Amino acid sequence: MTDTSAYIKIDNVSRHYGPVKALHNLSIDIAKHEFIAILGPSGSGKSTLLRLIAGLDRPSEGRIFFKGQDVTALPPHKRGIGMVFQEFLLFPHRTVRENLAFPLRMTQETPAKIKDRLDWAEGILSLNGLMDRYPNQLSGGQQQRVALGRGLVTNPTLLLLDEPLANLDRELRQEMEVEIRRYQKQLGIPFIYVTHNQEEALSMSDRVAVINKGKLEALGERQEIYDHPNTPFVARFVGRATRFDGVSDGTTVNIPEHGYTFSPSAPVAAGRVSVFVKNERFALGASGTPGIACKVIDVVLRGPFVEFILEAANKARIIAVQPKRPDMHAIGAEIALTWDANLAHIFPAEA
Amino acid sequence: MDSMSLKDFAAKWTMGLILITAYVFLYMPIVHILFASLSNHPNFPYPPNFNPKSYVNLATNSIYQSAFVNSLIIASCTAVLSTVMGFLATIGVLRFAGKRALFYAVFFAGPLFVSEILLGISSMSLYYLVFGLQGNMVTAIIANSVHCFSFCFLIMAAMLYKYDWRMNEAAIVCGATPFRAFLEVMLPLTWSGIMGSLIVAFVLALNGLDISFYLLGATPTMPSVAWGALRYGVKPELYALSTIINAAVFLAIIVLFLKARNTKTAPV
């Protein structure tokens, strides 16, 4: 017997297109108040998963449950969900008001209820004065809010978001990240947020599911995923990290290409290993001290922090991120690159 | 400065003159019919005068009336039938044909290149041999639809090619049934293409002589009566009828134009 007590339960779901396995035996339980990000590169199957949850596509195997009820065979218009698309897909021939009222009309709400919900959406999404405009008269951010509103007016069981910020510029995106998270906390329904952008996933969600090649690579609290990746893929994909090929003798790890040896906190099985170090966890010591001898070839200012583009003796490029300080290394400086052995992630080398 | 403004002036008036010439070229025959229908001397109606006699005759001439009604029925039914078929074909090609879309599209457009006379003769003998059907209004509508289908398909394919099918999905996740999504979202967004297809099919079937001629025999339609009239001398009633049809078409165009202008704030 499967336990169907989770608010949303995705139970061993697969989706095959002929011989192509878009999704493979994937299970996720989602709690009612949870913001979950589904993170993966393009073609990983994350959008397929979203379409399966929406009902726009059917799984080849496995079941999907909403509040304990099996919805696997239920068509999308009966699932009571909201969805926000990357291109917003607002109805261009209808005003903002009509766009927002559309899902309410489809669920046969009374005019009084519709008006009530429209007022609610207008207030919470700051759409005052925009209700009688057409979508093409709105800015990207305003269209985004209307798309969110259309997904939320019916008090859906859950909201699905398919890369909704990909078409917005950077500043607006960061603003909307905070806003979307605030709505989720306010409404108390799960948001399932699909993205290939690890920054979005980390900034908004409670938990992150990392998907690669149709398989669930990792599922956990965002901190956990970031600090303790369980596979080389997660270590590489979440956060910005640098990979080194190393050789372990059981207690120490040597990186032959840079002639650097360090002692990890826990013993590592002997053999070839991959070492991942997050870019902000590098330490830049004075030249001559132990470490990988590097030269600073460029410095990129990113406001509160700085990216040092380093070049090692073998011409390999390494990026180290440091907080911005007045006395930082200048272009051309010689330094020694090291890292805290506890914070490096070490995996047996991939074949 | 003076020469500059003179040049602008000349350019403006030349353009205006070209525009007027173009309109005269397009509308002279139509205006001529109007004059002829109202004249005491239909063969040379200049200077124009006003004599409603031909309209009165028209109202009492049963041949012209039944020809008009028949043509209207054929044109309306053909427009609807070929547009519905063309719409389904377009959806099939754009949504489900995948890599073979062009292949299917070419064969849907193929009948465009078959001459109308051949289609008329062939349909006449085919319907008789295979189905035992004598030429009648139904076979005329079917044969006309074969001819109009390709035009309808091309017009709507050009329109629906740009349509984002995920609009339907967006409506469906909002709780709309697929049919409701089609009715409330897809249809209004592709209406101009469907309208264009209806109009073109209607006009083609209304004016098409050959197909109706071979399939209808003695049943009069507008083009067949007009063609017959040519042989025995054109009657002013024909001019009157043409004028009425032209007036109706202009009225329709003006209504469409005003409607399009009113919805300009919501371009689709």
**Best residue of A50, A89, A95 to probe chain B, by most B CBs closer than 10 Å:** A89
Q: How far is A253 from chain B (nearest CA, A)?
A: 52
Q: Which of A76, A93, A103 is nearest residue B266 as measured by Cβ atoms?
A: A93
Q: What is the pLDDT of residue A291?
A: 87
pLDDT of B1: 52
Residues of chain A with C-beta less than 8 angstroms from the C-beta of B190 = none
The answer to whether A173 touches A161, Cβ cutoff 8 Å, is no
Q: Are A23 and A45 in contact (CB under 8 A)?
A: yes
Closest CA to A10 of A147, A148, A115, A160: A160
Residues of A within 8 A of B166 (CB-CB) are: 85, 87, 89
CA atoms within 13 A on the CB side of A270: 2
Residues of chain A above pLDDT 70, percent: 98
CA distance B106 to chain A (A): 29
CA A36 → CA A170, A179, A194, A231, A235, distances in Å?
A: 22, 15, 9, 20, 19
Residues of B in contact with A75 (CB under 8 A): 172
- Asked if pLDDT for residue B267 goes beyond 60, the answer is no
- What is the complex's ipTM, to 2 decimals? 0.81
Half-sphere exposure of A110 (CA within 13 A, CB side): 3
Could you report the per-residue pLDDT of A36-47, keeping only the tens digit for each? 999 999 889 999
Tokens linked to B261: 């202008």
| Residues B176, A80: C-beta atoms closer than 8 Å | no
pLDDT tens column, A140-184: 889 999 999 999 999 999 999 999 888 888 888 888 899 899 989
Q: Say if B185 is an interface residue toward chain A (CB within 8 Å).
A: yes
Q: Six-digit token pair at A138?
A: 């709105």
What does the alpha-carbon distance between residue A11 and residue A120 come to, in Å, rounded to a whole number? 35
On whether any CB of chain A is under 8 Å from the CB of B98, the answer is no
What is the pLDDT at residue B246? 85
B141, two tokens: 């509508």
Instruction: Between B261 and A190, name the one with better pLDDT.
Output: A190
Rounded to an integer, the average pLDDT of B70-91 is 93
Out of A56, A77, A93, the one facing B188 most closely (by C-beta) is: A93
User: In the beta sheet, which residues pair with residue A321?
Assistant: A307
Query: Residue with structure tokens 């073979």?
Result: B100
pLDDT on residue A90: 94
B-chain CB neighbours of A53 within 8 Å are: none
Structural domains in chain A, CATH included, are 8-233 (3.40.50.300), 240-348 (no CATH)
For chain B, list the domains and their CATH numbers: 62-234+257-265 (1.10.3720.10)
The pLDDT of residue B249 = 82
Whether omega before A256 lies within 30 degrees of 0, making that bond cis, reads no
Task: Provide the CA B211 distance to its chain's centre, in angstroms.
Answer: 15
Confidence of residue B183 (pLDDT cuts 50, 70, 90): very high
pLDDT by residue (tens digit) across B129-166?
888 777 788 888 888 898 899 999 999 998 888 899 89
Percent of chain B with pLDDT over 70: 95
Residues B13-42: b if buried by 16+ CB within 10 A, e if exposed: eeeeeeeeeeeeeeeeeeeebbbbbbbeeb
Please answer yes or no on whether B180 and A106 come within 8 Å at the CB atom.
Answer: yes
**pLDDT at residue A4 greater than cutoff 60:** no
CB B172 within 8 A of CB A77: yes
Residue A3 banded pLDDT, cuts 50, 70, 90:
low
Q: Which residue has the higher pLDDT, A308 or B47?
A: A308
